[in-house]
Amino acid sequence: MNKLMMYPHGGSYNHGCEAIVKTTLDIMEKAIPDISKEKILFSMRPNEDIQFDVHEECKVFPQTKPLDSKFSANYISGMFKLKVLGDKDVFDRIAHREIFDRADKNTLALSIGGDNYCYGRPGDIYYINSYVRKNGSKTVLWGCSIEPSAMDDEMVEDLKQYEFIFARETITYNALLEKGVEKARLCPDPAFLLEKEEVELPQGFEEGNTIGINLSPMIMSYEKNEGAAFDNYKALIEYLIAETKYQIALIPHVMWDHNDDRIPLKKLYENFKDTNRVIFVAEDNKFNCSQLKYIISKCNIFIAARTHSSIAAYSQCVPTLVVGYSVKAIGIARDLFGTEEGYVFPVQSLNEREDLIEQFKNFAAKEEKVRAYLVSMMPEYKSRIIEAAKEINTLQ
């Protein structure tokens, strides 16, 4: 294999997705020396990848390509195949023609994204996989988490056709093995290897005296009591201002229009902006994933909602309390610490307004112990990633 093709990718306004792409490119070059001939990313939002310089490290193409017009050869040919030959997916093939035209027997087709198998039936992935496999490409699922309950027969059939599946935590890994997916491997999320990039810390951010906070619409959609997550975050900030001397940095990690961390964080900021204790970091989305990681690395403690914001913190040995909702948060914490208890608080468990305050107090009491533990174990944990990826190089 001398060609790397990555898909599906939502775009780099999700800085976790950006981090996966950038670290994966580096990992694959180290693990598979011949892969550097051609590196391609198929993206749903290429303009975002250009803004954050992904295009400087690989070729970026739109995942689907529209028809030029109803008078184009592709359209006329497609209509003939649809109406006369009964070819029902002809226009899907035409839309994905860039992927299918570039996939061949020398291609490593890497399915990336982390949790693309978590949110309903991933029909597009099934469809793309089926055609690139027909073209002789080797398919690998890279750095995934999958809810065990989501693994229905159709999904398992697709999963079994991958050459390898690299699960980023043991809950997914064990579930795959139980379903008979023999090519499952355990490998930490690639973004643990993302290098941080130093930037000037935002005004009001005090290194050694700042609590970082990430809140997302995603976890809010999983709460059992409407408004519970926001109310708990608001109560936590009130507590930090009244009872501690910490500055508080609100740090978004996903800035898509339909799923934007800045919306709830902006609402929080408006409640506290006159205190001079609360900073809104990256409201203008000017920082890339490496720069956000640098800022997170300067926090004393980080409260994370987004998985990749927690990975940015963990990997820099920042004690991190995750307000989670899924297998990925629980699984990663369990693999790091041996248990999720005290490290992940399910958003579904937020009932009383002071719940998060109590979790924070308990966690803050062991801050130094957690930091020292991460410092001691993180080098070995990170080293597993490239070693696991080297197995891909055995594919012929």
Confidence class of residue 74 from pLDDT cuts 50, 70 and 90? low
Mean pLDDT, the chain, rounded, equals 93
- Asked if the structure places residue 196 within a domain, the reply is no
- Asked if the structure places residue 289 within a domain, the reply is yes
Pick the closest to residue 302 from 75, 136, 245, 311 (CA basis): 311
Do residues 306 and 332 lie in contact, with contact meaning Cβ atoms separated by under 8 Å?
no
339-342 long-range CB contacts below 8 Å, 24 or more apart?
A: 342/366
Spatial distance between the Cα atoms of 249 and 213, rounded to a whole number of angstroms? 6
Q: Based on the domain organization, do 184 and 102 belong to the same domain? A: yes
- Report pLDDT digits (tens) over 115-144: 889 888 898 899 999 999 999 999 999 999
Q: Based on the domain organization, do 128 and 259 belong to the same domain? A: no
- Asked if the structure places residue 63 within a domain, the reply is yes
Do residues 118 and 145 lie in contact, with contact meaning Cβ atoms separated by under 8 Å?
yes
Q: Based on the domain organization, do 36 and 181 belong to the same domain? A: yes
Identify the domain containing residue 216 by its residue range: 210-365
Q: What local confidence, expressed as pLDDT, does residue 81 receive?
A: 64
Pick the closest to residue 17 from 288, 213, 284 (CA basis): 288
- Report pLDDT digits (tens) over 188-242: 999 999 999 999 999 999 999 999 999 999 999 989 889 999 999 999 999 999 9
Q: Based on the domain organization, do 141 and 257 belong to the same domain? A: no
- Asked if the structure places residue 202 within a domain, the reply is no
- Asked if the structure places residue 197 within a domain, the reply is no
CA geometry: angle 368, 300, 235, nearest 5 deg: 110
Q: Based on the domain organization, do 14 and 160 belong to the same domain? A: yes
Helices first, then strands: H and E counts in the chain: 16, 15
Q: Based on the domain organization, do 220 and 250 belong to the same domain? A: yes
CATH number of the domain where residue 70 is located: 3.40.50.11720
- Asked if the structure places residue 377 within a domain, the reply is no
- Report pLDDT digits (tens) over 48-68: 999 999 999 999 999 987 666
- Asked if the structure places residue 184 within a domain, the reply is yes
User: What predicted TM-score, i.e. pTM, was given to this entire model?
Assistant: 0.93
Whether the predicted pLDDT of 75 surpasses 60? no
Q: Based on the domain organization, do 341 and 230 belong to the same domain? A: yes
Q: Based on the domain organization, do 218 and 261 belong to the same domain? A: yes
Spatial distance between the Cα atoms of 4 and 367, rounded to a whole number of angstroms? 41
Q: What local confidence, expressed as pLDDT, does residue 168 receive?
A: 97
- Asked if the structure places residue 373 within a domain, the reply is no
CATH number of the domain where residue 296 is located: 3.40.50.2000
Q: Based on the domain organization, do 159 and 214 belong to the same domain? A: no
Pick the closest to residue 191 from 50, 260, 293, 282 (CA basis): 293
Lowest mean pLDDT of 75-79, 199-203, 210-214, 374-378, name the range.
75-79
Number of domains in the chain: 2
